Chains A and B, each alone.
Chain A
């Protein structure tokens, strides 16, 4: 096959292999030893350059003018440089670093180099653009640009196993030939980042495994706090680039797979660790600003996890789920002692939370009983309708169109802060030497609710009823023939999901001070709303616990941080979702069933052959 140099998808990596490529060569035609040296050297140089001055004026945010002290985006490049260097050295086979890369050191090196390159060049271009010209760069800026470029070129020159090319159909017309070649190039390009199945993990003593889990949690907390705390847009974009490629490189190195194997082994410890890390988040923050984002993320994530029972386990596409959050919030608001509530009662939190959950569950049963006889798309449409009915009903219970219950579009406002056992959630508290503000208080309370939802999810999914849900999702006819009362089981899932959403809603009412019908639409710019909730579940991974949590964090954080995009915010969001669904349809954190599937394919291909075929 004569590969034309059609560098259509990969403008920065022109394919120079015009002759039949040798069995193993890189995307860029450089000798492999030179490439490896360039990549590693580039990584080292990037580390060094992070300590230099990149621009002469402090007009660019983050103050990149200081020698010897990296700031802002330089820190990100520094981390990228360190990763590149480490993986570069590991690919040389340096002793002790082999443990870092059970997967493929070369692929990891490529990803790390790309991430560093992306961040560094983004910074350099942003400096030149915002300050008006390349002249604003200090020597450090040029050094980092050259170093990261060298690293990328070197890394892409590393050899990889090219897949067997498809034969060309001689009758193909020019356009078909072009399509064929593009596809071939794309396959080659993907192969450049392929990893081998990681070597079997050495058995660590269990204390070491627990240490690994703690370390992973600490890294996760650090990355999350850093992302949430990024003070300016450039830093957040740089963070996104670096975090994305950094995670990719770690997963190519096989570290992610290994850590997740360890966490799967110690599920309880992982869960406790994750909650301790989340609870530690407010203590890492100096003011309440980011705890606000934290608590909203947590509400969003908890509701998404509840939805995951309905969608991910039982396979019921519910497009009106946010209504149950609204039912919980309105119920709690009505009995909260708010002056605008027609019921002038102030119930304690445990009672209002319980009431919110129970009322939401009743709504779940009332809505579910007629609708759950439908399947698939019809169910989705009907639940969408019921979600809107809730909002419009609440809007009309304003005293003019109906009885005065909810104040219509004004909502129930001035909901007092919670006070549990003398602990005032509205006041600041000194705990362990750090100040915990209002939102941080609610964050800790919400964390308990999240914990409850996680436990409910875990326990129900791993039981007779959870298996029945999955069976119904997989094949309803067969499930019925196995003696499962499909309607009943689905109604339980629906009611349980509604109940958990109501529970979250009862906290949400207090966090937001006010509940209005506008908060509970199908689609809205700010999560949580039904569309975003479903997106969080699908994006994160259906049927998993950590999936919706991660998905919700990303879906909240990215739009919130990218507000400078203005009108294009939802557009960018949509494009991101489309890309993700195209390249990772199973979600960021795939379900165990799918993982098992991949595992089977890798391990026992003989099992896949069908005797009858």
Chain B
């Protein structure tokens, strides 16, 4: 992997500068409060993990960050600006994302997928496409060059002309990351990037995320794979029942008993007995292969249109 590919046009924010700042984010759906008063910051050059048991409100919070939902209370700021309420405007502002279940443009080639990601950073409209002036050719060539650069960065340059649907699962994940990077983000949101991957692929993804961080892009990861998240992240926040339970480095979070209790699905006020823990663990172990199957089925989702 070529990690030293320079990015000329993303001015790396000064280390430590706050990129994402969520203050008092609360999201209510009718009577249900999915996210309650969460404060959360991401600084540039940082990899932050967001974990929590199923139903903890991770995805809701994530959607608040990407413009799909507008928080009921509180606000999310990106580099000092309040996020616009439309997802395409959020992307244009500089937050790019990947999806939990891969959402590539299956019938486009790998290169075209990345070129679509360039959409916000290019301006050529319909007239320029119809008239084909020199500006159009220049912009198109520049887009292609940048897209190829990104494909090299994730290691897919040899498959540029393949259809996205024909890529193996792990490479589809990489392509999604390359596509997100094409919009020159300052913050990259990864929604379960290792779901359905084997250990080797997970390790590759880990290296890829480090390489992205080294480009000066802040990364926020939602993940279930604990080993992956604790290896990767500088800071981990735990979300339980819509509230931020604890935040800190890997050791702090790993050592926190409330986290362990909460993660096993017990209310964290009264610690669970050993019996219950074992029971839950057994249930989770049984559920694990099932979960793997469902996430593996995702790339098989063929858009036969």
Instruction: Give CA–CA (A217, B118) in the complex, Å.
Output: 39
Query: Hey, which chain B residues are within 8 Å of A459, CB to CB?
Result: 129-130, 132
Interface check B250, CB cutoff 8 A: no
- The residue from A465, A474, A475, A613 contacting B129, defined by CB atoms under 8 A apart: A465
Do the beta carbons of A609 and B92 come within 8 Å of each other? no
The proximity string for B residues 109-134 relative to A, scoring 1 for CB distances below 8 Å and 0 otherwise, is 10010011111101011101110100
Instruction: Give CA–CA (A110, B181) in the complex, Å.
Output: 53
Query: Hey, which chain A residues are within 8 Å of B210, CB to CB?
Result: none
Instruction: Give CA–CA (A500, B94) in the complex, Å.
Output: 36
Do the beta carbons of B296 and A482 come within 8 Å of each other? no
Do the beta carbons of B124 and A484 come within 8 Å of each other? no
- The residue from A462, A466, A608 contacting B166, defined by CB atoms under 8 A apart: A608
Do the beta carbons of B105 and A470 come within 8 Å of each other? yes
The proximity string for A residues 473-500 relative to B, scoring 1 for CB distances below 8 Å and 0 otherwise, is 1110111111111100000100010000
Closest A residue to B200 by beta carbon equals: A611
The proximity string for B residues 146-168 relative to A, scoring 1 for CB distances below 8 Å and 0 otherwise, is 00000000000001001101111
Interface check A176, CB cutoff 8 A: no
Binds B, one of A11-19, A113-121, A278-286, A592-600: A592-600
Do the beta carbons of B116 and A479 come within 8 Å of each other? yes
- For B, the interface residue count at a CB cutoff of 8 angstroms equals 58
Besides the known contacts A482-B119, A607-B167, 8 further A-B residue pairs in the complex with CB atoms under 8 A apart: A463-B129, A463-B140, A464-B115, A465-B125, A465-B129, A475-B103, A475-B106, A481-B99
Do the beta carbons of B163 and A484 come within 8 Å of each other? no
B173 to A: closest C-beta gap in Å: 9
B151 to A: closest C-beta gap in Å: 16
Interface set of B (CB-CB < 8 Å, partner A): 66, 86-88, 91-92, 96-97, 99, 103-109, 112, 115-120, 122, 124-126, 128-130, 132, 136, 139-140, 143, 159, 162-163, 165-171, 179-180, 183, 196-198, 201, 295-296, 299-300, 303, 305
B91 to A: closest C-beta gap in Å: 4
Query: Hey, which chain B residues are within 8 Å of A594, CB to CB?
Result: 107
A463-B136, A465-B126 known; A609+B105 contact, CB < 8 A: no
Closest B residue to A609 by beta carbon equals: B168
Query: Hey, which chain B residues are within 8 Å of A479, CB to CB?
Result: 105, 116
5 closest A-B pairs (Cβ-Cβ)? A483-B120, A463-B129, A483-B91, A612-B169, A478-B103
Instruction: Give CA–CA (A111, B127) in the complex, Å.
Output: 47
A609 to B: closest C-beta gap in Å: 7
Interface check A408, CB cutoff 8 A: no
A377 to B: closest C-beta gap in Å: 14
B187 to A: closest C-beta gap in Å: 14
A498 to B: closest C-beta gap in Å: 13
Query: Hey, which chain B residues are within 8 Å of A600, CB to CB?
Result: 162-163, 166
Instruction: Give CA–CA (A609, B170) in the complex, Å.
Output: 11
Do the beta carbons of A467 and B116 come within 8 Å of each other? yes
Instruction: Give CA–CA (A468, B107) in the complex, Å.
Output: 13
Instruction: Give CA–CA (A474, B117) in the complex, Å.
Output: 14
Instruction: Give CA–CA (A483, B86) in the complex, Å.
Output: 9
A380 to B: closest C-beta gap in Å: 14
Instruction: Give CA–CA (A125, B165) in the complex, Å.
Output: 51
- The residue from B106, B118, B159, B167 contacting A474, defined by CB atoms under 8 A apart: B106
Interface check A387, CB cutoff 8 A: no
Do the beta carbons of B119 and A611 come within 8 Å of each other? no
Instruction: Give CA–CA (A466, B106) in the complex, Å.
Output: 16
The proximity string for A residues 580-611 relative to B, scoring 1 for CB distances below 8 Å and 0 otherwise, is 00000000000001101100100010011111
Instruction: Give CA–CA (A471, B128) in the complex, Å.
Output: 19
Do the beta carbons of B183 and A470 come within 8 Å of each other? no
Query: Hey, which chain A residues are within 8 Å of B166, CB to CB?
Result: 597, 600, 604, 607-608
Query: Hey, which chain B residues are within 8 Å of A492, CB to CB?
Result: 126
Interface check A315, CB cutoff 8 A: yes
- The residue from B97, B109, B170 contacting A481, defined by CB atoms under 8 A apart: B97
A218 to B: closest C-beta gap in Å: 30
Query: Hey, which chain A residues are within 8 Å of B91, CB to CB?
Result: 481-483
A145 to B: closest C-beta gap in Å: 44
- The residue from B120, B129, B163 contacting A593, defined by CB atoms under 8 A apart: B163
A597 to B: closest C-beta gap in Å: 6
- The residue from B105, B140, B159 contacting A478, defined by CB atoms under 8 A apart: B105
Query: Hey, which chain A residues are within 8 Å of B129, CB to CB?
Result: 459-460, 462-466
A483-B183, A593-B163, A607-B166 known; A612+B296 contact, CB < 8 A: yes
